């Protein structure tokens, strides 16, 4: 059973009182039944969350584009200070905090928005996303369900990108992101029926090929976990190699693997891939083995995923969730 993490930031003095540990992340050899309930973090680390397996999840500090991210956050803070009654400014402050893995700070910022702008579904959407990041799935589901009630019957709206794609064309919307992340939260809990309901809604607002492949990937996985293989096969008929993809090529490649038009090995080479690639493609490949009956290989891949540092990636979170359930 997954353990719920009570959000808090642990700094040096508090951690010293608890003792120190060698590793912030589980090793490739770690399994759910071998890991202690709670592992310790190094004294200088900032713990943003606890994994489903009991490991502390440490805020990353070294980003290749760290100076730019810090500059963006400073600008967002200045914009909010100058316009404290602006919902947009508050949203961007929280988003910029999250891009620096300051997830608890971001949640607090979005919570301020929920208090001050309770009818604005964007705050529930963004806070719910970061609740997923810190493994608080029940809170995430409540936020996404609330957002959906707030925008019901209203036109959708484009969501501006914080990290624009190469063509600088936003490909997602508010409603897409709410349904997509709601489905993800249910999926992570193992509630595949509810996940399927959310992805059915998400497909209705997926109006470009990037959105379609992202939705279809989790939709297909939900159907397969429910044993609805005929429906899963029918879903694949809409997927073709020549789809107009700007930013979700990883999802397209996974869907082509499900169709038998790509091999698992072509998607994932753990000897050369970086942590983020392994997290992104590793879960899809591992789940493919799982739904095809090779639990041992699936577990091996999931363990390789969580050996990396990209613990905020959805594939990493999903691999954790599977290992917490697998014997």
Strands 47-50 and 56-58: antiparallel
Task: Return the HEC string of 167-192.
Answer: CCCCCCEHHHHHHHHHHHHHHHHCCH
- Owner of token pair 């009570």: 6
| Three-state secondary structure call for residue 19 | coil
Structure tokens at 133: 């990041």
Q: Residue 113: which of 91, 95, 97, 132 has the closest Cα?
A: 91
Q: What does the pLDDT profile of the chain (327 residues) look like in tens digits? A: 443 333 333 333 333 333 323 222 222 223 333 333 345 566 579 999 999 999 999 999 998 899 999 999 999 999 999 999 999 999 999 999 999 999 999 999 999 999 999 999 999 999 999 999 999 999 999 999 999 999 999 999 999 998 888 899 999 999 999 999 999 999 999 999 999 999 999 999 999 999 999 999 999 999 999 999 999 999 999 999 999 999 999 999 999 999 999 999 999 887 788 888 899 899 999 999 999 999 999 999 999 999 999 999 999 999 999 999 999
- C-beta separation of 264 from 257 below 8 A: yes
- C-beta separation of 102 from 151 below 8 A: no
98-120 core/surface letters (b: 16 or more CB in 10 A; e: else)? bbbbbbbbbbebbeebeeebeeb
pTM of the entire predicted model: 0.87
């Amino acid at each position: 059973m997954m353990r719920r993490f009570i959000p808090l930031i642990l700094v040096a003095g508090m951690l010293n009182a608890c003792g120190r540990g060698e590793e912030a992340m589980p090793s490739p050899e770690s399994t759910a039944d071998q890991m202690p309930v709670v592992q310790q973090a190094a004294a200088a680390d900032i713990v943003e969350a606890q994994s489903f397996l009991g490991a502390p999840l440490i805020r990353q500090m070294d980003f290749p584009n760290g100076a730019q991210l810090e500059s963006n956050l400073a600008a967002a803070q200045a914009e909010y200070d100058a316009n404290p009654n602006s919902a947009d400014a508050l949203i961007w402050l929280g988003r910029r905090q999250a891009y620096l893995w300051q997830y608890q700070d971001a949640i607090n910022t979005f919570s301020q928005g929920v208090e001050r702008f309770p009818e604005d579904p964007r705050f529930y959407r963004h806070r719910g996303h970061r609740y997923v990041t810190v493994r608080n799935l029940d809170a995430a589901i409540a936020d996404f369900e609330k957002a959906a009630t707030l925008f019901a019957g209203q036109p959708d709206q484009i969501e501006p990108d914080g990290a624009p794609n190469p063509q600088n064309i936003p490909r997602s919307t508010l409603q897409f992101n709410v349904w997509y992340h709601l489905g993800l939260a249910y999926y992570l809990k193992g509630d595949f029926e509810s996940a399927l309901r959310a992805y059915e809604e998400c497909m209705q607002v997926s109006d470009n090929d990037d959105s379609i492949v992202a939705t279809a990937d989790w939709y297909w996985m939900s159907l397969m976990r429910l044993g609805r293989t005929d429906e899963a096969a029918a879903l694949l008929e809409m997927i073709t190699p020549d789809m107009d993809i700007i930013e979700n090529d990883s999802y397209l490649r996974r869907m082509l693997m499900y169709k038998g038009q790509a091999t698992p090995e072509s998607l994932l080479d753990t000897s050369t891939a970086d942590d983020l690639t392994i997290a992104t493609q590793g879960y899809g490949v591992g789940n493919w083995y799982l739904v095809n009956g090779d639990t041992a290989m699936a577990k091996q891949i999931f363990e390789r995923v969580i050996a990396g540092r990209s613990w905020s990636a959805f594939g990493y979170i999903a691999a954790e969730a599977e290992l917490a359930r697998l014997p």
